[in-house]
Amino acid sequence: MNKKLFLFDFDGVLVDSLDVHVQAAKWSLEKIGQPIIQNKADYLDLFDDNFYEAMLKKGVDLKKFFKAFSFSWRRAVDHYGDIKPFSFMLSVLEDLSRIHNLGIISSSSVETINKALAQKQYGTFFQVILGSQSAFSKKIKIAHAIDQFHVQSGNTYYIGDTVGDIKEGKQAGVITVAVTWGWHPRGRLLEANPDFLIDKPEELLKL
């Protein structure tokens, strides 16, 4: 059997982190005088495309945002608690990792990802983690992972929970899988026309 490459978005797919992200982003943008987020809906709208590109289009100075975000993130975690991996993903990841290669493609920092994965020893399942330090574009990070594992795009799956994830997966030429337990609801995800739309993690084992 040829090994497939399963690339996972992090936030909303592997961990429950929306409230922390919304608050940290809101505080950061207020701190730099660019309060484009007033509520959760405003934040989720930024994920109809690449998050960082959407911020740039709204005139956000990303350098200032990142500087403010480090402090705001710690403050938000103190308020909401550490982000937590979804326990229901554990057995699925374990089964997939026995046969295929797994990776993470995310807009979050590698430090944040590793800290969260360590809570349930998820980190042992992933051969590559590409976060915000690698590139803003998930399309670029997906291409990098494909080159690293020497797989074809037709044997690569990108699993995401937002319209932006599906768009970037399609741009990268891989098979897109939208999950309904994350940040964007089913109807919104359907509009992005993913190759697969799944409601339960176990469905990943059938791909």
**Based on the domain organization, do 69 and 132 belong to the same domain?**
no
> pLDDT per residue over 103-123, tens digit each?
999 999 899 899 888 877 777
What DSSP character marks residue 4?
A: P
Predicted pLDDT at 164: 97
Residues whose CB falls within 8 Å of the CB of residue 103, separated by 6 or more in sequence, listed in order? 5, 6, 7, 8, 126, 127, 128, 129, 130, 145, 149
> pLDDT per residue over 163-172, tens digit each?
999 999 999 9
CA distance 156 to 97: 14
Residue 175's domain comprises: 5-16+84-206
Dihedral over Cα of 55, 114, 80, 189: its sign: positive
**Domain final residue pick, 32, 63, 80:** 80
**Based on the domain organization, do 199 and 178 belong to the same domain?**
yes
Residue 8 confidence (pLDDT) above 80: yes
Place of tokens 């359907």: 190
Contact 154, 146 (CB under 8 A): no
